Each structure stands twice: as C-alpha cells, then as structure tokens.
A and B are shown apart, each in its own frame.
Chain A
Amino acid sequence: MYLIKKKRVLCPSIFLMDVEAPRVAQYCEPGQFIIVRIDENGERIPLTICDYDREAGTITIVVQTIGASTKRMMELEEGDSFRDFVGPLGCPSELVTDDLEEVKKKKILFVAGGLGTAPVYPQVKWLHEHGIDADVIVGAKTKDLVILEEEMKAVAGNLYITTDDGSYGRSGMVTKVIDDLVAEGKQYDLCVSIGPMIMMKFCVLTTKKYNIPTIVSMNPIMVDGTGMCGACRLTVGDEVKFACIDGPEFDGYKVNFDEAMERMKLYRTQEGEALLALQEGKTHHGGCGNCGGDK
C-alpha cells in the first residue's frame, strides 16, 4: 500500500497528491512516469512525475478528473492509500542525461498545456537547480485551469501564461505565444512541449517554422508500462516505438500525431459508459444500436 501523505485541490477538476513510494523516489528523474492503481479492481493509470522528494520518499502526482478512475482517485484523501504504485518508468528527459555543459549553452523554451504543466515543472526545476533558467509558456483553457503558477514562477526564467478565452495572462493558444515571442526577437535552441496530443502537434508545426528542435512527451494508452503489451506503440519517423520504454519523450518532428490521436480513442465508448455508471449507477443496457453494448 502506498500512503497519500498530502492532497491539494488545484482547481475543481485537478488535484495534486504526495504519495509515499520510497523505491520510486530514490532513483526517479524528471521526464519519467509512474503507474498507479487505486484498488483491487482498479486499472493501471500512467501519470507523469510532477515532483519528488528523495529524503521524504515521496512522489508528487497531479491528476485531472476525466474518467471514472480519475474521479474515484479524487475521492481519496490524505491518509488513504493506493493499492499499487510502480516506477520510475520510461526514460529520463534528455536534458537530465545529456552533458550539462552542452545543455547550459542552449536557450530552452518549455510549452506546457493544461495538465502538461505538471510534467514540465520538474524539468524546469531541475534546470534551475543546475543554473539554467528556461522560459516557460503555460497554456490553459481558462483562468481556473492554470495550475502550479507560483511553483513554476519560482524556477522559470520568464513565465508566460496564456488562456484560450483570455480570462488570464495572454490571450490565445500556446502556439500564438510562440509566434509572438519569436516576433519579439526571442531565440530558442530547443523546445520541450508537453500537453494534450493536439496541442503538441500544433506546437511542433509552429516550432518547425522557426527550426526549433522540439521534444514532446507522449501519453498514449498503456497497460503494464514495462514494454510488455505494446498498446503504447507510436510511429516515430519510420520506426515503431513504445512510449513506455523508448519514451515517453520523442523528437516531435518525427511523431505521427494523427495516428496517435486516433489510437487514443479506442476505448472511448467504454470509458464513457464507465463514467456514466459511476455517476448514475449502471443504467446502460445496450439496445441503442450504436454503441455495440447490446452485442
């Protein structure tokens, strides 16, 4: 069992938890992820590591309630435990493993979208601790969904916040901010973009215009997270890669986002049914002829 030592609600649909997992905290690095399971019947949910404390043996995760499982997770409180918590999985960010002197020479821009702010944070923090201040764009749909602003401000060089509806910070998508920054004369040697696949896709299209190499962090459907199932396979260049062991970070120029986004939709009907069942009890009996539930 893995104790939830702290829980903080960041906005109505997003919460943060510090979970006691000493084995994960001992060797994890920015860029890696964990898999958590709520209880005996829970699915394996992959989540990127948002922060870690090696001394306290805790891992910070940030979760958005999007389906039945994440809603159930939000119901857990400090003092409750997860049945399973495994990691660190995947490869650390290249920024962490590359030669530090080389990294120091680069002007780096992070582009975080929504919940993607969580996995961006440990990378920016790590760079800050190693004397590198990176610029960070944080984009969210609306003011309420901007998370970790104070934390990010403390470790970022320049922090640019933008909301789609203009309710906070700049107005418009993250891609517009990239365009604006370049127009303002900013120059970047590397971009790291983490967020919804659609955002990463358009971010890459934008950075390509300016020849800024761009790393993205992929979050496809996964089961075991150790290379066993192949559910997370992606087309990267002309190769098939597994996000869990080859990634999660890849060269954004090479990722086939359209294929990856289609693959994400595979269980949409079943996920919707599960959420409905959680909210209203099991009312779905098929018979609509559309969902296949009556077959």
Chain B
Amino acid sequence: MAAPGFERVPIAEQEPAVRAKNFDEVCLGYTEEEAVVEAARCLNCKNPRCVQGCPVQINIPGFITALKEQKFQESYEILTQSSSLPAVCGRVCPQETQCEAQCIRGIKGDAVSIGKLERFIADKARVEGMKMQSAATKNGHKVAVIGSGPAGLTCAGDLAKLGYEVTIFEALHEAGGVLTYGIPEFRLPKDTVVKSEVENVKALGVKIETNVVIGKSITIDELMSEEGFEAVFIGSGAGLPMFMKIPGENAKGVFSANEYLTRNNLMKAFRDDSDTPIFKPAKVAVIGGGNVAMDAARTALRLGSEVTIIYRRSEAELPARVEEVHHAKEEGIKFELLTNPVEILTTEDNSVRAIKCIRMELGEPDASGRRRPVAIEGSEFEIPMDAVIMALGTSPNPLIASTTEGLETNKWKCIVADEANGKTTKEGVYAGGDAVTGAATVILAMGAGKAAAQGIDEYLKNK
C-alpha cells in the first residue's frame, strides 16, 4: 500500500450494477490495515479545526491517533465520550461540510477520511463487543425523553451517564426514529448498526417504551404530574410530509417519501416475509433533491423501478450530499434538473399516468442564498410515469405542542427552544433536533440532544 500522502485511502464499495439489485450496504468500510494507513494521514494538529467543525465536538485527533497506534479500545472510548452513535455518524454525517471541511490536509489534497475512520472503530467495537463508558451511580432523578431518534438517544445517553433515570417514549413500534424508518438499509443497516447503537444506549440504563404517542397516549403534563418525571426532553422530529398542492396529487400511485421509505425501512416491505405491501411501479418520478429524495429514488431502483429525480434547481444546488448524488447516478438514476412538476395526470380510475412539468431557469438569489428557480413560460412537457414520490421536506408534528400547555412554537410549528441548552418556554421542558429546527441532519439533532442533556442537568441540580 502506498505511503500516507495527499490522497485518502480509497474505500471498497459494492459495484453499482450489483448493489442496484440488493439492499445490502453500499460502502463496505475500511479493513484494519486500510484504516491504520488512513489514520496515519492525520497531522494531529495542535489546534484541531476538525473538532470545531463537529456538532458534538468529538476529540477527532485523539481517536485517530489511538487508531493509528492500533489502540482500538482506547480509540472507541475517546469516540464515545462525545457520541453515543458513532456507527451511525460514521455513515450518515455530512463530514464533507463539517469536520472534513476543516481538515488541514484538505488544503493540498484530500481531507482525512474522518467519517470512515469513525465508522471503522464503531464497527470494530460492535463486532468485538467493546463497551462504552459505563453509567454513573443513579441519582434518583427521573427524566422523560420523547422520541428515540438521534436527538432523543443522545440526550438519554448523556443523561444516563450523569446518573439520571431516563425513559424514552417512542410512538412507533421500533426505536431509532429516522434512523429506523427513514434512512434505508443500504446506507444504514438496521439489524446490525441501528439496533446495536440503541442497545448501547439501553446498556447505560435507559428504558425505552415503544408504542406510546405523547399527546395521545399521555401528555407531557401528565408525565410530569402523574409519573414523576422532573424534566422532559422533546426530540420528536419533523414527521409531517409536505406535498406540492398540485392537481392529481391524491391519485393512486402518489406517495410521500415518508410513506414509501417507512414501508420499506421500518416495515421491511422489500423482504418476502413482511406482510406490508409496497407499490412497485415500472416508472417512478421522485420530486426533490435532498438526501431523502436520493434515498427514495435508490430504494425504488432496488425494488425494480426505472427512476427519474425531478428537481427545480440545477445540480449545484442539490441539497443532498455529493456522495449520495454520485451513488445515485452510478446506479442509473436519471435526473431531470431545472424542472418542476405542475400536474400529475391520471387515468380514468385515478391512477398516475404521467407527470406534467415545466422547465425552470435560475434567477436572482432568494432568502436561502440559492438562485431562485423561475418557470420558463410555455415549456411544459409530459413524462409518462406510473408513480410519483414527493420528497419535498417535512415539518414538525403539532401533536405535542398542541397538547402541552405553555409550550411555544414559531410560525413553522417548530418548538421554540434555546440553542445553547434546549430550554423551552415551559419550565422543566427541553427540546432539540428537527422538532425545533425543522428537517436537518442526524448530527445536528445529536448536538441539540447533547446540549439539552447539559441544560437539564443544570436545571435539576439547581432546582
């Protein structure tokens, strides 16, 4: 193998033609030898800018140095001091815009492959049964966490480490939130990676009660007054799908990406032994350009559909990670960029027949800083389709806010919370993740869960 240099050690992936037909993980991860060589590229900077780029401030040079010296247990301990979900983060964090974007190596070559190294250590720890730092002695204080996604798991894990008795309430039948229902198997394996990270959090003493819909089964006020929880963290995510409000959207064969992905990921519709059906159209359009759009498109491809992604801006503005776009293209997904749907055309029995689109061009930058797409008059055209998946984003479920007295939300129905400590307008109630910010990333949700755990600790200590 070449000496450590300007280029990162390449990582093995399933061949596009092969992986397009299965749900196994695309990226195969580093071997031990590859990981050690890649780790040696880290310059162990005195002022590690990568750490500032990490929303949970992992001691990146620390864990990489231990890895380089093949002290794997130590490396895992350093990693898990800051993150309860390293195998998840190593896979789905947008490292290229966070830690790796800050890496000095990146100035004259490739940044150190921090994410892939994190994944290597986390996977090795799982396979070899390494344990995380254990929980402190119980301090007798009870905290409820709503939602078992990245924000909730992180907050619960951190509080358990501080000695709190934590119960997570999950609305679905499986823990993990978006890690379980949203992100597909081929990016984030459920039975191995997600389940074991959830088990790690449980090993810290965290209880997880599934099938409890807060706001329906029981309210936050009741949790506090009747079940003795002294503080509550809301990490309920942004679950409600958005639609375009164009004609034909209620036709048979139009799905939200949430529905399509939930059927496949949470309900395992891709497996023969699952009772849950999933629609398998010959041709499907996925509307949107984010990671969820890529996930839905690549799922449909694996289920046998011919897939076209329709996005109203150009490739440069695609909000999805570059790696995901690259993988999607490699697998044979078509892109209709600068194109916006205006109508879904249907057959007599209200099934999808085609999608009518209009061409767009980019005008002046809008509030998001991206150039605003403007329709080109008279450029409408039709593409024959059997199904359409809407991946336009999600908004927070108003259920909790509407059933909790004194909990303020903003005009986007997001819960108002202090970024520094997760404090909401209701005493003892903290919030973080997509429920506060609207749809964002796994790692930002984890960062918020972490901050709220500290906020809750301070609140209860001073109470």
Contact = CB atoms under 8 A, between A and B. Distances in A.
Contacts of A235: 250
Given A235-B250, A240-B243, A266-B279, A228 B273 contact: no
Contacts of A290: none
Contacts of A85: 211
A81 to B, nearest CB: 13
A190 interface: no
For B210, B249, B259, the residue with the greatest tally of chain A CB atoms inside 10 Å of its CB is B259
A295 B282 contact: yes
B316 to A, nearest CB: 30
Contacts of B262: 223-224, 228-229
Contact of A231 (B173, B249, B259, B397): B259
Interface in B361-397: 397
A139 to B, nearest CB: 27
Nearest to A2: B211
Contact of B399 (A233, A245, A262): A245
When A and B form their complex, which 7 residue pairs have the shortest distance between CB atoms, in order from nearest? A229-B259, A86-B211, A270-B277, A84-B173, A230-B256, A43-B275, A267-B277
A182 B63 CA distance: 79
B217 interface: yes
Given A226-B213, A229-B262, A292-B280, A69 B239 contact: no
Interface residues of B, number: 41
Interface stretch (A21-29, A50-58, A118-126, A149-157): A21-29
A265 interface: yes
B65 interface: no
Interface in A55-112: 68-69, 83-89
Contacts of A24: 217
7 contacts: A27-B218, A41-B273, A226-B171, A226-B172, A228-B181, A240-B250, A266-B252
Contacts of B216: 27, 87-89, 226
A259 B212 contact: no
Nearest to B305: A295
Contact of A265 (B252, B268, B277, B304): B252
A230 B243 contact: yes
Contact of B277 (A230, A274, A295): A274
A37 interface: yes
Contacts of B213: 86-87, 89, 226
Contacts of B255: 230-231
Given A229-B241, A292-B280, A262 B252 contact: yes
Interface in A1-53: 23-24, 26-27, 37-38, 41-44
A228 B240 CA distance: 5
A92 B391 CA distance: 31
A37 B268 CA distance: 14
A263 interface: yes
Contacts of A23: 211-212, 217-218
B227 to A, nearest CB: 11
Nearest to A260: B250
A251 interface: no
B115 interface: no
A42 B271 CA distance: 12
Given A86-B211, A231-B259, 13 more contacts: A23-B211, A26-B217, A41-B273, A44-B267, A87-B216, A89-B213, A226-B213, A227-B399, A228-B259, A230-B240, A230-B258, A240-B243, A245-B399
A230 B211 contact: no
Interface residues of A, number: 43
B311 to A, nearest CB: 20
A88 B263 CA distance: 22
A229 B212 CA distance: 18
Given A223-B263, A223-B267, A292-B280, A87 B217 contact: yes
A27 B215 CA distance: 10
B128 interface: no
For A42, A227, A292, the residue with the greatest tally of chain B CB atoms inside 10 Å of its CB is A227
Contacts of A292: 280
B31 interface: no
Contact of B171 (A86, A267, A295): A86
Nearest to A86: B211
A113 to B, nearest CB: 24
A69 B275 contact: yes
A271 interface: yes
A229 to B, nearest CB: 4
Interface of B: 171-173, 181, 210-213, 216-218, 239-241, 243, 245, 249-250, 252-253, 255-256, 258-259, 262-263, 267-268, 273-277, 279-280, 282, 304, 349-350, 397, 399
Contacts of B279: 266-267
Contacts of A87: 213, 216-217
A262 B241 contact: no
Contacts of B210: 84
Contacts of A270: 277
B275 A68 contact: yes
Interface in A236-270: 240, 245, 259, 262-263, 265-267, 270
Contacts of B258: 228-230
Contact of A263 (B217, B250, B267, B282): B250
Given A69-B275, A266-B253, A295-B280, A230 B259 contact: yes
A289 B249 CA distance: 28
Nearest to A277: B272
A82 to B, nearest CB: 10
B209 to A, nearest CB: 9
For B210, B217, B240, B282, the residue with the greatest tally of chain A CB atoms inside 10 Å of its CB is B217
Contact of B275 (A84, A240, A274): A274
A277 to B, nearest CB: 10
B217 A228 contact: no
Contacts of B217: 23-24, 26-27, 86-88
Nearest to B209: A23
B159 to A, nearest CB: 23
Interface string A196-227: 00000000000000000000000000011011
Contact of A224 (B172, B212, B275): B172
A24 B209 CA distance: 13
Contact of A228 (B212, B241, B282): B241
A88 B219 CA distance: 12
A209 to B, nearest CB: 27
Contacts of B245: 240
B167 to A, nearest CB: 13
Contacts of B277: 43, 267, 270-271, 274
Given A84-B173, A228-B258, A231-B255, A262 B349 contact: yes
Nearest to B241: A230
A248 B304 CA distance: 34
